[in-house]
Amino acid sequence: MLRLRAICPFSWRVFQFRPFSFEPLLSRMNKCTDEEQIFDLIEKNKAILSEKQVACALSMLWQFQKQKISLLKNVECIRDHPQFLTLHNLATTKMEFMNDNTLVNVLYIIQQFGFEAHDPLVEALVTEAWRRLERFDINMLSKFSSCLADQHLCFSPLMGKIADIVNRNLETIQDLRCLSVLMVSISSLISQRFQEQLVNKAEQLFDTIDSSQVNTARRIVQFLRNIKYNYYPLLERCNKVFLSNVNHLDLDSISKILSLYHSLQFHSFEFILMTKKRLTEMIPLFDHPASFVKLFVTLGPVAGPEEEKQLKSTILLMSEELTGQQALAVMGAMEEMESRNSRLIKKIASILYKHLDNYKPVELLRITQALIFLHFQSKELLVKLRELLLSYLKVSVIPSETSLLVCALSMLPSPRLDEAKISQIEAVLPQCDLNDLNSFATSVLRCIQYDPMYRNNTPGKQLKLLQKLDHYGRQRLRKCSSLNLLWEEVKSLKGDWFADSLLEETVVTLQRLIDEINYINVAGIASFISRTNYLSTSLLDRIASVVLQQNEKIHPFAILAIILPFSALNYDPPQRDEFFGTCLQHLNSYLSILDPLKLVFLGYSLATREYFSEDLLKAIFNIRFLAKLDSQLELLCSSLNMKVQFRLMELNRAVCLECPEYQIPWFHDRFCQQQYKKDFGSMNGAQQQIYKMLAEVLGGINFVKASVLTPYYYTIDFECILDKRKKPIPYGSHNTTLGKLPKIHSELNTQIAGSRLPPGAEKIALEFLDSRAFCRNIPHLKGKSAMKKRHLEILGYHVIQIPHFEWNSMALSTKNARMDYLRERIFGEGKSSS
């Protein structure tokens, strides 16, 4: 026996410390009803506890904590208990005896109790798990990856090893719950090809999960957010899971899902409507600041007037208890709600002021933006805000941080860029991406615009800085060799500097990388073209080609974005009918589930290009759809709400004028009268000048009308009437009522303007077209202006469009030249010209 002990001392030691039977103790642990009973068992049996009993005790303690209401308070209390320290030490000594499952579970529970990554036990457990990594099954691997993610080790070599294991074994993985955890954990360090493989695998396995697996669906959406890929097929399927479980979703789940949707720019009207009802029911249930702030932030932006009133009054009552972070969240939500509650704004601002020293630079920018947007003025707060921003700026060396600090400073009253700030900006320029460069340029231009010192002349140093920004921007674009990398930088760029300095170079770069446009990025590129109003026929032809060749891979939700530039810029691709037909055919099965506002925008975009789908129009112009649209309008901010209503009116008008055979009634009379009574005012200075010139050309002031409202509520700058011999007819010599808004009756819906004129007479509409009517880069008429011309002609007008670049040209620099120009356009032969 002694010889055996000498040969196998390690094995003897292992058996020596094991109890004769650990089953009774495990049974007693499992029967415990609170933490004290567990701690009592630990105290009495700590000398003989096995690794399984240690793990069981930790597991039971965590189960008790999950049942508590105030989780944080209980965790701290348990973690500081002397017997928990005993468990902690025992876990360290017995770690090597734990099986793989126990090892990972103990790591998970220890982290849930708030132990940091530098804790000796956490470090030891991670090291031991790394050693065993290759033999972990998918369940343990996913749980271990989640633990590493909680330690912010997403970019670590260990996480890279996990990603490699997943990559090698992807074909054999059949558990989507575990895979979804791994997808989120490794999302920061995998290639685009691997990302696509994971998306495809998740899509394949989706039907294997139960419809109640909300967390799995949420993690898939989180993965798509992490890799910045709004892949509609998966998003749509995840959304169905959320909708089927909406009555079981708690505040935290709803908040996370909506936040993910916002990041992905994925809009589910049905989900918002259903969660709004659920969140409204929660208003009386929360009396703790942390929970109510989350409810305020989640419900506030979509709340109706009554719910908004309840939220604001409650948050005001508990405002004294708010932390700095909670006050920041409330202020951000109030900005999104476009709140004008001065009492609440002042109260939240006072809390922000108290905690101002504790905010990070990006949070100071958010505070600055919110205060400016909400028109809050407090000299004391703004002075302290400026001081903090300047103190951060002095030590900042990271380009993105420097740019947001300069951005925040430029928003404050009397912004100024001194030599030190300019030097600091110049020092980081070589490291800046296009977003940073655009942010700097916007800030510099804002300082020049609003600083009184710069109103009369722009200092040379600011101009040199703008030139350097131009240089680095162009240099970055010319070096770009990947469309995906370029798209990440340009997709959110906007503002005067980008449009004036880099837009043309950006389009040249896109044209250089045109072969990389595919079904994945085509909608994004189309959106960029729409937003910038830059007509590139080669890019639009490529977009149309991708749609025709890869339409099966393009989700119907992306069709609106794809059609938009063709509509906005008034351009038809070579295979026009096939292109629009393919888009519509792809959408047909989705007409009943597409968000109402998207359907309205889609119908309007197609109408602009004279493309009217009977199925689409029937889907829009029916009572059920319009009621659904009304419900959605209640959830939108005022500006978007009004935009949708105008687009519906414009679509209704286009259908009535161009497709009377569909017999869709005109039902926007009241809406138009309300809107145009607000906007219908006196002429501005330029209009008066043109008005006088036209009066001279036509023979008197009574031969021309200005700011005329036509049937179907189009406004035209000027109107005159010529008889059959091309002579002007004065107003008052025929049965036209002057100076009143024309009232449109249903029987006049298709009546042309000439039907009330003397025989052979002709009404002429003169439209002055400013730069907004044309594409940014060439004098090509945009879709909206082209459609207006078409509709005015249907109404019986002879339309004369006067482009700004002709009117303001050197050739028309004198009054006589302009008078001759007007005579030629009005009295010359031919049809309507543009």
pTM for the model stands at 0.84
The answer to whether 199 and 231 are in contact (CB under 8 A) is yes
Within 10 angstroms of residue 360's Cβ, the number of other Cβ atoms is 10
Q: Which residues contact 418 (CB under 8 A, 6 or more apart)?
A: none
Q: With respect to residue 568, please indicate whether it lies within any of the assigned structural domains.
A: no
Check whether 833 has a pLDDT greater than 50. Answer: no
The reported pLDDT for the residue numbered 685 is 61
Q: Are 316 and 344 in contact (CB under 8 A)?
A: yes
> By C-alpha distance, which of 380, 382, 462 is closest to 416?
462
Whether 294 is in a domain gets the answer no
pLDDT tens readout for residues 467-509? 999 999 999 999 999 999 999 999 888 888 998 899 999 999 9
Of 141-150, 411-420, 448-457, the range with the lowest mean pLDDT is 448-457
| Segment holding 803, helix H or strand E | strand 797-803
Pair 375, 413: CB distance under 8 Å: no
* Portion of the chain with pLDDT greater than 90, in percent: 62
pLDDT at 472: 95
pLDDT for the residue numbered 801: 93
- pLDDT category of residue 679 using cuts at 50, 70 and 90: low
Which residue do the tokens 């303690």 mark?
A: 61
* Mean pLDDT value across residues 235-259: 94
C-alpha closest to that of 341 among 298, 381, 296, 384:
296
For residue 114, is it within any domain?
no
Phi and psi torsions of 47, nearest 5°: -75, -20
- The reported pLDDT for the residue numbered 21 is 45
pLDDT at 753 over 80: no
Grouping H, G, I as helix, E, B as strand and the rest as coil, residue 707 is strand
Top-confidence residue, 776 or 461? 776
Q: Which helix (H) or strand (E) holds 217?
A: helix 214-226
Identify the residue whose tokens are 């679509």: 651
Question: Of 831, 820, 726, 718, which Cα lies nearest the Cα of 766?
Answer: 718
- The per-residue b/e assignment along 252-285, b for 16 or more CB within 10 angstroms, e otherwise, is ebbbebbebbeebebebbbbbbbbbebbbebbee
What span, in angstroms and rounded, lies between the C-alpha atoms of 501 and 57? 65
Q: At what angle do helices 289-299 and 324-336 cross, to 10 degrees?
A: 20
The lowest-confidence range among 149-153, 559-563, 726-730, 828-832 is: 828-832
Residue 24, pLDDT above cutoff 90: no
DSSP designation for 498: I
Per DSSP, the three-state class of 68 is: coil
Write the pLDDT tens digit of every residue in 327-354: 999 999 999 998 889 999 999 999 999 9
- Rounding to the nearest 10 degrees, give the CA dihedral for residues 447, 450, 451, 454: 90
Q: Under a CB-based contact definition with an 8 Å cutoff, are residues 783 and 567 in contact?
A: yes
Q: Which residue has the higher pLDDT, 33 or 477?
A: 477
Q: Provide the greatest CA pair distance for the chain.
A: 131
769 lies in some domain: yes
Judged by average pLDDT, the poorest of 221-235, 236-250, 268-282, 439-453 is 439-453
> DSSP class of residue 774?
B
Domain that holds residue 712: 681-734+757-827
811 occurs within a structural domain: yes
State the pLDDT confidence band at 828, using cuts at 50, 70 and 90.
confident
Tell me which of 13-22, 171-180, 373-382, 405-414 is least confident. Answer: 13-22
* Number of domains, the chain: 1
Higher-pLDDT residue of 47, 9: 47
Q: Residue 571 half-sphere exposure, CB side, CA atoms within 13 Å?
A: 28
Given this model, what pLDDT does residue 453 score?
A: 65
List, for residues 62-99, the tens digit of each pLDDT value: 888 877 665 455 777 888 888 888 888 888 888 888 89
pLDDT band with cut points at 50, 70 and 90 for residue 686: low
